[in-house]
Structure formats: C-alpha cells, structure tokens
Amino acid sequence: MSRLDDLRGPVPARAHDARAIAALAANPGCARRSLLDAAGVDKDAAARHVGFPAPFGQSQFAITRGNVFESLVKENGCAELLRLLRELMGLPIEQVGYRDVESVGSHLRASHTRALIDRAARESEDSAVFYDHPLLSLRIAGHTSYLEPDVVAFRLGGRFHIVEIKSFSVIDGQAEPEKVAAAARQAAVYVLALRALLEELGHDPELVSHDVVLVCPENFANRPVASLVDVRRQLAVLRRQLARMTRVDRLLEGLPEGLTFSLEPDADGVPTRSAGELAEALRRVPARYAPDCLAACDLCMFCRDEARGCGSTDLLGRQVRDQLGGVSGMDEALGLAEGVREPGEGQEEISRLLRLADRLHRECVA
Amino acid sequence: MSEPLDALERRIAELRAEVRRAVKARDTSLARLLRADLRRAERAWDEAVVTEESAESGESGGRGRAEGPGSAEGPEGAGPLPREAGAALMPIREQVHQALLLLGVPTAAKLVVAVNEAFFAGGLRSPQLSSLRRDEERSFRSDPYARPYYLCAALTDRLSPARGLLAASTWPLEARVVGPLSPRVDFLTAATRIAEHLARLAEPPPGAVRLLSRMAQNIPGAVEGGFGPVDPATVVGAARAELEVHLPADTAQRAEVAARAGDQLTDVERLFGAAALSTLRGAC
C-alpha cells in the first residue's frame, strides 16, 4: 500500500462517494483513473492544477432542487414515501416505524446504522420501516468510503430496499434513460455496501433486495412517484470493477520509480509542484479516453486534450475506435480513406471501408 | 395603553441580540433578514409612540424620541408600515408556541412555518427557528423556570434530542418523547388537529385548506379523488381510523421512554435532551 501513498503524496486520501464509485463502472479499462482512484488522489484538484478543470460538477440550483424534493418526500416521518410504498408494494397499514439514524449525532452514525440494521435483520418483528440518514461503509482499495443512501426501507416483503430519491421528473411514465441509469448505478453501490454490512454481521446478504425504489417527481408537478428498478446488472459490473481495483499491483508494476501525483500544498494552499510536472506525471500512466468520460471523470478535459494532441481514434467514441482496430491514429485513418496512403498488412478491410465512406461522403457533399 | 410599546421594545431588544449573534456567526443572509425585521419593528415603535402621545394629549410631556429604543440606529425613512407587521410583531417564540398549541405534537420547523402561514400571522421563516432551541436552552440554564413555557426538544428513545423537532415544555413527558411509530402518529394527529380547527372556522383560510389537502394526500381514505380541497370531517375520520392501528403500540413505547427519561434525566435534560450529546447539538 505504501506505493499508493507515494503516488498520492503527503495529503489525506480522498474518500469516494457513491457517485465516484458508480463512475468507476463507466470506464473499466482506464489505467489512469483506476490508479488515481486506488491511490485516493483528488482528481478534481489535479485537473484544476494542470489547467483542465472539469466542466461539470452539479449546479447549485440542481443541488437545491434535489434537496428540496428529498425533504418533501421525507417530511413528517416519510409520509409521502409511506403512501408510495403502500401503493407500490402493498405495505400493510400497521407498518409505519421510522428511525432517524442521525439522532445520535453525526460521529456515531455509522455504528448506529450497523446496530439498527443488525437488530432489524435479527428480530424482524419489532423493526422500523424507514431508516433515515443511514451511513454505510465500503472498503475500496484499502480505504473505507462512507456512503449515504437517502433512505433504507425494510419490511417490504421482509427484505431491505434501498430508496433513491432523485429530482428528475418521470413524464408520462418515462424518464431520461441516462439519468435512470446513473441513479441505478449509484443505488447499486448502496446495495453492495448494505450487503457487505449484512455479511459482516453474519446475516444473509440476499436480505437486501436487488430492486431499488426510485422516487421521482411525476410529470410537471412536484408530487413524487415511485418505481422499482432492477440493479442486478449494475451490481455485477460494480463488483467486477472493485475486484480489479484491489489488484492494482499489476498496474503499479509498470510504473517508473519515484512517480507521484502529489498535490502537497504550501502555506497558501497552492500545490507546491508545478502544473507541468504534474501533467508530465499524469501522462506517464496510459488513459483510455472515450467521449463518455466527459460525463463521469474529473480528468476528462485533460485526457481529451491529450487524445486530440496525438490524433487518437479514441475521440470518435468506442464503437468507431473498435472498428478502426488496426489503425493507429486519425491521420492514418484519413490517409487511408483518401487513398494517399497504402494500406499496410491487415488493413485492407478497414481501408476499403474507409474509402467507401469517403466516396459516399463526397457524393453527399457534392 | 403602553403594553404594545413594551412588547415592541422587548422585541427590538431581542432582534438586536439576534442580529449580533447572526453577524458573529457570519450568517449574512439571516442577519439581513433580521435587520429588516428590526427596522420594521423600530418603525412600528415610532408610529406607536406617536399615536400613544396623541392619545394621552401631552399629559406628561411625552417621552422624547431620543429615549426610544430606535435611537441607536435610527429609522431609515418613515414610510408607511406594511400591515402584516402588526401581527408579525409577536416574538418568534410566541408565534411558534401558537402553532405548537394548535398541533399539540412535536413538530418539525417546516410544518410550524406552514401552520403559522396558514392560520396565523405568517412571515415566519425556517432559518429563524434554527437557533430557537439553543436560545431557549441557554435561557433555561441561566434562569430555570423563569418563563411560563419553553420551546424544547422532543426526546428520542436514547433520550437524546430528536433532530429538528420542536415541542412545548408544558406538555407531559409522554407527549414529548418519540418512538419509531411516533412520527406517523404525530403526523396523523397534526392532520386531525388542523382539520378540526378548520371545521371550527366560519371562513376557513384558503392557505389552511391547501395545507390540509396536501397532508390528506398521504392518509389513506382521506381524499375522495383528485387534488381538490378536502372535507375536514373526512380527513378526521380517515386519520382516526389509521391512528387506531398505531396508537396502542406507540403509547406503550412512549410511556416506556418517558418513564426512563423521568428516572434518569435532570430538569434541563428532560427538556433539552441528554447532555452527553449536547456538544453536537449545533448540528440540529
């Protein structure tokens, strides 16, 4: 593990939140990201330091909107959620228990969550339905990450369900697939963490349902509506990805001695290393840029710039990149298409396709 | 005759203290709100003192402006007073108490604000309530039982203060503790109380009907269909029906916690929660 600490430098490791863990599953092949995550490097700070700040981050309006909607669903002892679960899953009237984990104070939340979940799993008779503000932990590459699901619901068919409250609306029974997918990935992280907790406590991890309850505003009003989302696939991807992360040794082997991404700040809080040095260090680890990275990774702009600089076919998206298998860069691909370059061995097939595409393009444009 | 003036002076002094606290805590938005309240109160004091003087027709020569509580900062422009100010000049704690008396159960700040808006003066804002419990506790600690009532915390089954809930110290301990079933029971009780209060009013305020309709959406059988205004009697019936299911278990749980609280806690803790966690109360 000390090698990872060297990589990070003398700054505290950055804990992963559910969003970050879910994003891991988005680009499993990227060594740069795996390494930075495993070492707990603050990717956002690194990206800003090398001059490529990520263009995203949630808007303050979106955060406020999300919080307001969440508090609406949870107010009065989860009254809205209770109605939704009664309608959706036939929760019996007498099941209304509500426990706020946070009432013990924030420093005890993790242990209190543990105690409450243990009790619920042990004696399901006397347990509450809602556990508000729970705090779960998940070991990722040697570091403990703390995760905060919106609500954990129990007593729906005798199993735990993760409830995820999101403020994007479901219009006429349809929501934006990307947003639902992101929510499902995030919820899968919680399911995984809760299963890990149950396993640790000696209970059956299958007590946690792979169906998560997604609560969103319905149509154009603020009235919440609930639906069940199956996250089995996301769970499988996530598990695989996390298992890979624990095998970072393989990635570490190929690294030059003394490589570090240290962001050690001086007295003014400005990193002591120059941006150039850090960028150089980052370039030593291969990245696997894809346009999807723009939605999930803090370093996306840096990697995109790098990919542009060397004319990599990664910029064109995964599908095109895979088709252009034996072609090393965009220049070569264009050369093949325009016929100014002779196809090398094994490139006949792709060059024929590229020529055809070029001809079609000319015909269309002409 | 000078009673409203006294109340106003007290209110102005309180507001000044709150402004100072807010500035100290660097909460600029709250400070701005409070300053606006302060200015309004000072203006109201100016108006009240003038009307009082004219009523007394100069018997005593009148109190000079310089003695007034507004002298330190001085009113900025003597524009006409907005009429809502008359009612909103009640101290915040009294407004909250009023709402709590109507509801009769430990309540989250948000519902207190909603009830205040629907039935009473309105103009309460949630941020104003955030420091209320701490202020009351400080007051109680320095001078126990000096006030007729305190706004205090509801106690959880660990005897710690429940997050975000406000209660009145005059209620029996059983009503101020919360078990796992209590949030639902309290929600149903609050809906019942609001509905009963609405039924008593000759002209129910539309805001209150909206509030009840919103709450009724989450009570099975309380809404006949659609999102229109609900019938208070139906809501009361439906809420009572569900209450019957939960009440016996909840009462037993609450009695158990209350007995424990009565045995183990000191006076202060009984009102504001067990001291072991008091350092964290800032987070509430």
Residue B281 has what pLDDT?
A: 40
Cα distance between residue A35 and residue A253, in whole Å: 12
Contact yes or no for B245/B129 (Cβ under 8 A)? no
Q: How does pLDDT run along chain B (284 residues), one tens digit per residue?
A: 457 778 888 888 888 888 888 888 888 888 888 888 888 888 888 888 777 666 654 444 444 444 444 444 434 444 444 444 445 578 888 899 999 999 999 999 999 999 998 998 788 888 888 888 888 888 898 888 888 899 998 988 888 888 888 999 999 999 999 988 999 999 999 999 999 999 998 888 889 999 999 899 899 888 877 667 888 999 999 999 999 999 999 999 999 999 988 888 888 888 888 755 444 443 33
Contact yes or no for B232/B195 (Cβ under 8 A)? yes
Residues of B in contact with A220 (CB under 8 A): none
Residue A68 has what pLDDT?
A: 92
Torsion of CA A63, A67, A68, A73, to 10 degrees: 140
Task: Specify the 3-state DSSP secondary structure of A229.
Answer: strand
Closest CA to A138 of A204, A186, A103, A67: A186
Q: Do B111 and A80 touch (CB under 8 A)?
A: no
Residues of B in contact with A97 (CB under 8 A): 180-181
Element at A126 (helix H, strand E): none
Element at A150 (helix H, strand E): none
* Nearest residue, CB atoms, A103 vs list B156, B220, B246: B156
In terms of average pLDDT, the best of A247-256, A290-299, B191-200 is B191-200
In percent, the amount of chain A with pLDDT more than 90 equals 16
Residue B86 has what pLDDT?
A: 46
As a whole number, mean pLDDT of residues A37-66 equals 82
Q: Do B277 and A104 touch (CB under 8 A)?
A: yes
Cβ atoms within 10 Å of B95's Cβ, excluding its own: 24
Residue B161 has what pLDDT?
A: 86
Q: Do A106 and B110 touch (CB under 8 A)?
A: no
DSSP one-letter string for chain B: --HHHHHHHHHHHHHHHHHHHHHHTT-HHHHHHHHHHHHHHHHHHHHHHHHHHHHHTTSS----GGGSGGGTT--S--PPPPTTHHHHTS-HHHHHHHHHHHH-S-EEHHHHHHHHHHHS-----HHHHHTHHHHHHHHHHHSTT-SS--EEEEE-TTSSEEEEEEEETTS-HHHHB--TTHHHHHHHHHHHHHHHHHHH-SS--HHHHHHHHHHHTTSTTS--SSSSPPPHHHHHHHHHHHHHHHHHHHHHHHHHHHHHHHHH--HHHHHH--GGGGGGGGG-
As a whole number, mean pLDDT of residues A320-331 equals 78
Substitution target from A103, A124, A155 for chain B, most B beta carbons within 10 A? A103
Min Cα separation A71/chain B (Å): 10
pLDDT in tens, A219-244: 888 889 999 999 998 898 888 877 77
Q: What is the ipTM metric for this complex?
A: 0.72
Residues of B in contact with A83 (CB under 8 A): 217-218, 220
**Confidence grade of residue A247 (pLDDT, cut at 50, 70, 90):** low
Min Cα separation A44/chain B (Å): 28
In terms of average pLDDT, the best of A4-8, A36-40, B24-28, B165-169 is B165-169
Residue B282 has what pLDDT?
A: 39
* Nearest residue, CB atoms, B245 vs list A75, A94, A103: A94
Q: Do A103 and B163 touch (CB under 8 A)?
A: yes
Residue B243 has what pLDDT?
A: 92
Cβ atoms within 10 Å of B60's Cβ, excluding its own: 7
Closest CA to B92 of B114, B49, B134, B121: B121
State the Rg of chain A over Cα.
24
User: Which of these ranges, A18-22, A165-169, B180-184, has the smallest mean pLDDT?
Assistant: A18-22
Q: In what order do the strands lie in the sheet with B151-155?
A: B107-108, B161-168, B151-155
Task: Specify the 3-state DSSP secondary structure of A318.
Answer: helix
Q: Phi, psi at residue A216, to the nearest 5°?
A: -135, 160
Contact yes or no for A282/A46 (Cβ under 8 A)? yes
Residue B107 has what pLDDT?
A: 92
Cα distance between residue B272 and residue B155, in whole Å: 8
Residues of A in contact with B163 (CB under 8 A): 100, 102-103
Any A CB within 8 A of B277 CB: yes
Token pair listed for A83: 């109605």
